[in-house]
Structure 1
Amino acid sequence: MLELNLKRGYTLLELMVTLAIVAILASIAAPSFNVFMENQRVRSASNDLIGAINLARSEAVTRNTDVTVAQAAGGWSNGWTVSAGTAVLRTVDGVGGITVSSGVTSVIYGSNGRASVAAEFTLAPSSGTASRSKCVSISLSGKPSSESGSC
């Protein structure tokens, strides 16, 4: 009679070798993942800032009044607020691990959509790696733009 051996599975040695290989691959991938996350945080913060600037510009034209983009208490790194008079249109909290610096404390958009000042914002990771920073600038015409690198 034919007897089948149905014992299947992995030995402890095979499992340990597999775990060692996974650990080695994970340790290789971790630094690249940290760089990726840092880049995404900077990109997200710059998109949030540009979105707030575009909102302020369009609301100033729509409402035919001044709309202000102002830094939160403690600076731009803690966030910013878009307001028309006493009405708060949007509040954006700061992004952890990102430093936002600028020479201005607020930008006011007039009813014609023009900015009160030309401004530049440098968004950089807290690690201080300048190559991963972004520069968001606002021209006097009010149009925001973004480019890689410091301002």
Structure 2
Amino acid sequence: MKRHPTTSRQLLETQDFGFSLIELLFVIAIAAIFAAMAAPSFRDFIAGQRIKTASYDISYALTGARSEAIKRNLNVVLAPVSGNWQNGWTVTTGATTIAQHEPFVDLTITGPAAGLTYNSSGRLAAAVAPFAISSSVSAGAAPRCVLVDLSGLPSSKAGAC
């Protein structure tokens, strides 16, 4: 016959600490269900952040190319690598490469086919098509549009162009 514990020390000696295997499996199953429910929206979130980052990178490149044209008092060209903006872009003046950007993965970026040329006053040589950025992986991620006015200043907005 087991005796009833009378002191706190005896009480601690009679208790079991920790989790049983069934309790552990139950908690893991619930965590797996929650993770499965959150995965699609997390994928859309990541794709949306990539789209936003790409639009900011394009805006910064446009602003930087405009600034370099004014500073150097030369024409500066922002052009896609291999004719595709997803492959990145280069900023050049004559034969000198000022900057270049790496390719984007899982994004679709459309923009001016020939690139942009800023003249020495920081203005564009001609009107250009806007940059449309969307995800090629997640249809739930909102696209973004980067517009460039004739003065050469870029602006970014959520939504299609």
Task: Give TM class, smaller chain.
Answer: over 0.9
Letter of the structure 1 residue corresponding to residue 155 of structure 2? S
1:135 lines up with 2:145 in the alignment: yes
After TM superposition, list the pairs within 5 Å mapping 1:91-110 onto structure 2: 91-110=100-119
Post-superposition shift, 1:130?
8.2
Alignment CA distance shift 1:45-1:88 (3 Å): same
1:122 lines up with 2:122 in the alignment: no
**Aligned partner of residue 40 in structure 1, secondary structure:** helix
Letter of the structure 1 residue corresponding to residue 152 of structure 2? G
1:84 lines up with 2:93 in the alignment: yes
TM-score relative to the length of structure 1: 0.92
Superposed CA deviations along residues 96-123 of structure 1, whole A, max 9, x for unmatched, are 0101112432100011010122221111
Percent identity over paired residues: 37
Letter of the structure 1 residue corresponding to residue 148 of structure 2? I
Q: More strand per residue: 1 or 2?
A: 1
Q: Indicate conservation of the 8 Å contact 1:138/1:145, yes or no.
A: yes
Post-superposition shift, 1:131?
6.3
| Structure 2: stretches of 5+ with no match in the other structure | 1-5
* Segment drifting more, 73-82 vs 33-42: 73-82
Partner of 2:33: 24
Q: Indicate conservation of the 8 Å contact 1:118/1:137, yes or no.
A: no
Q: Could you say what the CA RMSD is over the residues aligned between the two structures, in angstroms?
A: 1.7
| Structure 1: stretches of 5+ with no match in the other structure | none
Q: Which has the larger radius of gyration?
A: 2
TM-score relative to the length of structure 2: 0.87
Aligned residues: 151
**Aligned partner of residue 14 in structure 2, secondary structure:** coil
1:145 lines up with 2:148 in the alignment: no
For residues 63 and 80 of structure 1, the distance between their equivalents in structure 2, rounded to whole angstroms, comes to: 20
After TM superposition, list the pairs within 5 Å mapping 1:47-86 onto structure 2: 47-86=56-95
For residues 131 and 32 of structure 1, the distance between their equivalents in structure 2, rounded to whole angstroms, comes to: 9
